[in-house]
Structure 1
């Protein structure tokens, strides 16, 4: 049998084909590597998928979840012992350590995260979780791409549930704006002197019956002057249609609500929520003006918990 001579062109074509095949598979392989090392969006909801953990014992994966503006780290595990809501744990972001009480379920461990920890996750390079249960439960996660993913899912996080209260809606076109400008004339002058600008005014009035009225107004336009919200919130009351208005409330610009379940002297309790905070603040009428309530008493009477103190 005559052996045909090797075809150099055929060898060249085969070599090129092999090289192209290798190049074609590289993106797939590198993509797998990136998926294992970088954070990813879950695709729905305020959920970020953590990379595959390294140096893990009992932990197989994790996710960062946000609901009602509260962030938590959920770690997946194998079957666990009896669930408990107070497992001592600590998270470390680079060199800084945060002690936390975790909640252990059958196949997950949930760690509540403060805003400080979430901010640290954005800028760090390595996250380590260590749970002080009977057996060692540890894992480390790289933080590559964490900032981009966390900031992408954060707008999808649900708001704090304030459905038990009635929100006080202020508007720049409300008829109460003219009265608010008059009541806040001195404050507007101080704002102009300090910033050389004119603040935006929004307001509304609430009729409490028996001649009692409330007026709330905001002046907005400078985070330097009013703090991080850029607004000041003011409340006024009067006890009759011919009576004078007097200031009864003053704070940084917050979302403000009335609590119909509690009042004092015909004036409803107020509830405010800072968009930079997680817990609402409760205010009650002291006979002269509104003042913050004791947080423990407010928590006992919070209608969201269904525990109203008699």
Structure 2
């Protein structure tokens, strides 16, 4: 069946094709009528969708994460493209080409994991280099890291996104660290490696990306510190104690990387390396999400995107 990728959909397009139901919610409008708010996806992206005048039977007729055949029409609402669905039917996975919907790139993930290992094994700090080997020797950890997402939405919200975000940050640390001799470049780089590892447990990538119970109850920052403690315990099984002050510094890098209490950091960054890590993290996340806003914009203006509420501005999109 021919289909138009989500990323290529345009305003006013008639739709008769299959999507994956990334999310669904049954809601009630001001008049008491029920409607379904959905996120429909394929490997190219996600589009918001609405289906009006429904009941519980229609809502239960398809599963979150399952495949659905939709009829409808695209339209622009508040500057964003959405799909108004007029008919939806659940279909079996055997009826679709799964490659159209699989967002995980195994080859790219393997390449990034190799690069991550090169950076970690190139550190001059011996305890950090040895601790890195504890992580890399854990086959279950590596397998999950390679497929983990960095978010449900916003930046790097795709299987393999966490690894991409982490390696990009580590490479930035390798550039920034030597530029400022007052920084411990190895500590900064290892902090980039550690900072979001708790998302391996916080988010589930089995099917569509969603929060796990542990993620909702505990969160990736606390989970990341717990994981660090477990790996240090494994490190010390060889009879060598991990440096206590270095452990505190690593823990601080994890708990402060959001930069502000109101953004979820239990502590403000108070080390030069943790301040730097926060800004590198913010830079990579912002550039990724802003670029995505430009690439998916449906504005008729060739120079500017539509106003994007999540970032509070329009973006200049014309390429020189």
Q: Give the alignment's TM-score, normalised by structure 2.
A: 0.30
Q: Which structure has the larger Rg over C-alpha atoms?
A: 1
Higher strand share: 1
**TM, length-normalised to structure 1:** 0.31
Which structure carries more relative contact order (alpha carbon 8 Å, separation 6+)? 2
